[in-house]
Amino acid sequence: MIASLHVPVLFEEVLNFLNVRRGGNYADATLGLAGHTSGIARRLGPHGTLHCFDRDPDAMKLAKERLEHLAAELKATMPKVEFHARAFSEADQVIAPGTLDGILADFGVSSLQLDTPHRGFSFRHDGPLDMRMNPKVGVSAEQVVNQIDENELADLIYEFGEERSSRRIARAIVRARPITTTGELARVVAAAAPAMKGEKIHPATKTFQALRIYVNDELGEIRSLLGSAPSLLKPGGRLAVISFHSLEDRLVKDDFRERSRTGEYEVLTKKPVTATEDEMERNPRARSAKLRVAEKK
C-alpha cells in the first residue's frame, strides 16, 4: 500500500537528464520504493541492466514487489535487475569500473521510513527512537540521545541540523533523560526552543534531521558515492543527484565544481533543478528537492 502511494520527486526531470538509452547499464544508488527505478526500467528494454542499492531491508522488500509487478506488465521488455542489499557507498565493490551509463542518487528519506512509526524517523507518529536505515546495524538515535555527553550532542545538532539553539536543546535533552520515543524527544525540543512567530517548520525538525544524519553517517555515505562515481561511469555517463537540505547539496555542488575544473565532469545543471509549482502542490515533499547532474568526459 505504501509503495503505491510513494511519489518520486522530479521524476520526468531525472529521466530526461539521465538520458536513459535502451540496453544501457544503470545504477539506482538509493532504491527506496523504486519510483525512479520503475521509470528507468521502462526505458531500458530487455538488454539493459539496473543495479539497485538500498541498506533498508523494509524498502528493499517492497521495492522488489513493485518491480515484480512491473516485470509482469513489461514481460519480455523488462531489463535485468540486480539487487544489492548494502549502502550505496559500497557500489564500487560490486560494479566493475567504467561500466555504467548512469547513476541516480536520491538522498531523501523515503515515505516508508517517514510514515512507519516503529522506524522512529518522524515525530508526526510516536514510536521508538531508532532512525537507522538498517535497523540491524549501528547505534540507534535513542542510544545517541541518552548516552553521549551534552557538548557532543550540542555539536552534532548544530553541525548536522544547522540548529542555532543546539546548546539549549542539548541541555534540555540531558535533563530529560531517559528519552525513548520520538514524541518525547519532540516535546523536549519544542519546550527548549519553541517556534518563533511565523515559523512554519516544527521546532524539532532540525534536531531530528541532525540525529538521522549522524546515526546513518549520511554525509560520509554521500562523500563515498561522489568519490567512486567517476570511476564507475563510462565516458558520457551521467550522475544525477537529488538532495534535500543544504549540507547534502553543498557536498554535491562542490564535488561537481571541482571535477568540472579538472576536466573530469561537464556540469549539465548550472543551477539546481527544482520542482514546479504544480509538483509541489501534488507532492509537498518536493519543495526542498534539488537536482544536480554531471556528465563524465
Positive/negative CA dihedral, 152, 157, 158, 163: negative
Is residue 88 marked as binding? yes
Q: What is the DSSP letter of 85?
A: -
**Residue type (1 letter), 42:** R
Angle at 273 between CA 70 and CA 131, to 5 degrees: 65
Is residue 113 marked as binding? yes
Is residue 209 marked as binding? no
Is residue 27 marked as binding? no
Q: Does residue 294 contact residue 238 with C-beta atoms inside 8 Å?
A: yes
Q: Does residue 50 contact residue 18 with C-beta atoms inside 8 Å?
A: no
Is residue 34 marked as binding? yes
Q: What's the CA gap between 148 and 181, in Å, rounded?
A: 17
- Alpha-carbon distance values, 198 to 10, 124, 192, 194, 268 (Å): 29, 20, 18, 12, 37
Positive/negative CA dihedral, 157, 54, 6, 239: positive
Q: What is the DSSP letter of 172?
A: H
Grid cell, residue 208, equals 531530528
Q: What's the CA gap between 70 and 64, in Å, rounded?
A: 10
Grid cell, residue 70, equals 512491473
Is residue 35 marked as binding? yes
Is residue 192 marked as binding? no
Q: What's the CA gap between 144 and 152, in Å, rounded?
A: 10
Q: Please report, in range form, the residues annotated as the binding site.
A: 34-36, 54, 88, 106, 113
Q: Please report, in range form, the residues annotated as the binding site for S-adenosyl-L-methionine.
A: 34-36, 54, 88, 106, 113
